Structure 1
Amino acid sequence: MDKIERITALHRILKASRYPVTVKRLQEELGCSRATAYRDLAYLRDALMAPIEGDGEAGFRYNAAEGERFELPGLWLSSEELYALLASQQLLARTGGGVLSTALAPLQKRIEGLLADHAGIDQWPMDRVRVIPHRGRKLDETGFRTVAAAVLERRQLGFEYRARSTDEKTRRTVSPQRLTHYRDNWYLDAWDEDKGGLRSFSVDRISAARLLDEAARDIGSEELNQHLASSYGIFSGEPKGWATIVFSAKAARWVADEQWHSKQQGRFLSDGRYELKVPYSASRELLMDVLHYGADAEIVEPTVLREQAKSLLALALANYER
């Protein structure tokens, strides 16, 4: 039992006991030495301000008047929970391009302090947790906070948006629905008040974001998922059909363990290859992911998607024939 777990157990023992608890009993229940039991009692009393009274002969208990109200302060988790929380915090801070670092800094310091105290060291070795961002785009922290505030406060949002595909800048007024973190980048799912439909906006392409006084229109989760998560990729929309991709036996070992879509269908073929079926609407993102596997992937159907892949491969090959 580690220190955090012992302190938690010690608190529960004293909280439940009507009479003083001897040090010998604490040793047995906590599975520790006499010296450790005394150190834990001192830590609980002096550092956490627990209303402990008594001595080594008569035993220890919580003061009757204050013990009922006392609870362990702040964030008090097991070491395993702290490890998981620390890893999650690092993931959010680093893959967010630093946009969450300021907001999460107090939590990070608290977690690091508890871990260091648990391990009996002055500073927790943060370099033992490594998160490598992949192709994340830079965000404006002020703009991100405004977008997040609009989502959480349920207010309409106005902003300028420069589409990456056309580089055209437009003014938008939207009712934010949710923030989505997808492939190391942030997206805003929203009801476009001008277009009269659901849209997804890349947050890094949003500028001059401002909160509006009007309340945001609420779209039900079922409708959001039907429109935005029913097909492959981030800009999905209603599915136009299903794509069937066959991967070589070598690539099958990876693809069989990958989650391409919540409704995907996959099976191993008799020759060791792997067949994957996914619903799709916009083909561009799906084609990029399939072509990532090069010669180890083949789009079988539909024919139009297969022909698009062939055209892209031909154009890529032309770059090397000059």
Structure 2
Amino acid sequence: MARNEQLIRQHKLLQLLEFSRFGSTIDELRTELISDLGLTTLHGRTVRRDLEALEASGYGIRTETLERGKVYKLARNNKSVHEIGISATELISLSIGRELLFPLLGTQYWRGIETFWNKVKDALPAGMYEHYDRYRKTLHVFGTPSKTYEQHEGMLKTINRAILEHRIVEIQYAPVGKPVSTRRIEPYGLAVYQSSIYVVAAAPEVENPAERLRNWKLDRFRHAIALDEYFKPDPDIDLSDRLGRSIGIFSGESPTMVRIQLGDRAAAWVGEDPWHPEQKLESQSDGTSILTVPASHPREVLPKVLALGTEAEVIEPEAFRAAVAEAVQSMAAKYR
């Protein structure tokens, strides 16, 4: 655990030095580390040893004596963006990606995006930036949600630390339509789905191994604290594989294959904007098509089918068909 904590400290030190324009003293770095990592104590000698370890690893850390004392700075890379040959097209792609990640505003991830973007702009010759700016105005990004996670920055830091150190986290969680409850979770990672951040974590009180790992929406967290209790991660859990098994966020061990009959227009739309990489779309003799997609919960299918209106009908399994039928009947009653 000590080795992991050292790596976390050193990574945070690099971030602090990157953001510090005029350098930072040992005491200033120590104070920031305690605040950002939620530590109780940290000796200045530990910070100095971490800086020496980073310098020995090849990072350009230099010192300068100012009125407030000896400060540490991160030396600039001697290779500029212009020297690595970035093109206007690459700049456009980078700026589009930046706009698509706007929901991460206020998080450490967004600060990393912004600092890198500003470095790129500062290193560009004026003529190249003008060329980029002229062509960037031909392409606009729409449809990204206006939500951000600025209010969750502190909780994200706590959860990130708990993921790296395998700590149990105590949270106050407010599911939609239910009262706030205090829960203990074992966090494995974070996932971004449709501009929302989810914490992939196990619920230790659940005995069935197939149901312990769940996705907790960060918007519903009211409080989070990393406890001085640790858990042993399951080595068989592969988050990338697990999260990619279904069309939505309710991913599980064994998703259900859902068959949906589509009209010709709906089939064209789903062909243009696939629901899942492994979906199958088969044309039928009557002009319709059968879409087969994996889903772990009826709520993943429901909004997509309703969005297609009369152009879509869930065929099987019965539980998914019944869920859509119930929603349609309830809606019809309201519109009578």
Aligned residue type for 2:173: Y
Q: Tell me, yes or no, if the aligned pair for 2:81 and 2:123 is still in contact at 8 Å.
A: no
State the partner residue of 1:159: 171
Q: Tell me, yes or no, if the aligned pair for 2:91 and 2:132 is still in contact at 8 Å.
A: no
Seen in structure 2, the aligned counterparts of structure 1 residues 77 and 228 have a Cα distance that, compared at 3 Å, is same
Q: Distance in 2 between matches of 1:200 and 1:288?
A: 19
Shift of 1:220: 3.7
From 289, 301, 311, the equivalent of 2:316 is 301
Seen in structure 2, the aligned counterparts of structure 1 residues 194 and 116 have a Cα distance that, compared at 3 Å, is farther
Q: Deviations over 1:108-157 (max 9, x none)?
A: 21233345645254995776553532475755222233223333454332
TM superposition score normalised by structure 2: 0.63
Is 1:182 aligned to 2:193, yes or no?
A: yes
From 286, 295, 298, the equivalent of 1:283 is 298
Seen in structure 2, the aligned counterparts of structure 1 residues 90 and 115 have a Cα distance that, compared at 3 Å, is farther
Please give the residue correspondences for 1:170-319 in structure 2 after superposition, counting only pairs within 5 Å. Answer: 170-195=181-206, 197-220=212-235, 222-224=237-239, 228-239=243-254, 241-319=256-334
Aligned residue type for 1:206: F
Aligned residue type for 2:104: G
Q: Distance in 2 between matches of 1:264 and 1:161?
A: 34
Seen in structure 2, the aligned counterparts of structure 1 residues 232 and 114 have a Cα distance that, compared at 3 Å, is same
Q: Deviations over 1:14-34 (max 9, x none)?
A: xxxxxxxxxxxxxxxxxxxxx
Q: Distance in 2 between matches of 1:175 and 1:261?
A: 28
State the partner residue of 1:82: 91
Q: Tell me, yes or no, if the aligned pair for 1:90 and 1:131 is still in contact at 8 Å.
A: no
Shift of 1:201: 0.3
Shift of 1:78: 1.9
Q: Distance in 2 between matches of 1:292 and 1:148?
A: 36
Seen in structure 2, the aligned counterparts of structure 1 residues 219 and 131 have a Cα distance that, compared at 3 Å, is farther
Q: Distance in 2 between matches of 1:77 and 1:168?
A: 55
State the partner residue of 2:116: 107
Gaps of 5+ in 2: 1-76
Seen in structure 2, the aligned counterparts of structure 1 residues 193 and 129 have a Cα distance that, compared at 3 Å, is same
Is 1:72 aligned to 2:79, yes or no?
A: yes
Shift of 1:170: 2.1
Q: How many pairs align? A: 250
Seen in structure 2, the aligned counterparts of structure 1 residues 320 and 115 have a Cα distance that, compared at 3 Å, is farther
Q: Deviations over 1:20-67 (max 9, x none)?
A: xxxxxxxxxxxxxxxxxxxxxxxxxxxxxxxxxxxxxxxxxxxxxxxx
Gaps of 5+ in 1: 1-69
Q: Deviations over 1:145-192 (max 9, x none)?
A: 32233334543322211122x423222222211111101111011122
From 150, 162, 174, the equivalent of 2:162 is 150
Q: Distance in 1 between matches of 2:163 and 2:142?
A: 27
Shift of 1:252: 1.5
Deviates more, 1:172-181 or 1:109-118: 109-118
Q: Tell me, yes or no, if the aligned pair for 2:186 and 2:201 is still in contact at 8 Å.
A: yes
Query: Could you say what secondary structure the match of 1:256 adopts?
Result: helix
Aligned residue type for 2:202: W
Q: Tell me, yes or no, if the aligned pair for 2:92 and 2:132 is still in contact at 8 Å.
A: no
Aligned residue type for 1:314: Q
Deviates more, 1:179-188 or 1:214-223: 214-223
Query: Could you say what secondary structure the match of 1:208 adopts?
Result: strand
Q: Tell me, yes or no, if the aligned pair for 2:103 and 2:148 is still in contact at 8 Å.
A: no
Shift of 1:223: 4.8
Q: Distance in 1 between matches of 2:197 and 2:81?
A: 30
Q: Distance in 1 between matches of 2:302 and 2:98?
A: 33
Seen in structure 2, the aligned counterparts of structure 1 residues 117 and 191 have a Cα distance that, compared at 3 Å, is farther
Q: Tell me, yes or no, if the aligned pair for 1:116 and 1:124 is still in contact at 8 Å.
A: no
Aligned residue type for 1:163: P
RMSD over aligned Cα atoms: 3.2
Seen in structure 2, the aligned counterparts of structure 1 residues 192 and 269 have a Cα distance that, compared at 3 Å, is same
Seen in structure 2, the aligned counterparts of structure 1 residues 213 and 115 have a Cα distance that, compared at 3 Å, is farther
Q: Distance in 1 between matches of 2:81 and 2:317?
A: 56
Seen in structure 2, the aligned counterparts of structure 1 residues 294 and 177 have a Cα distance that, compared at 3 Å, is same
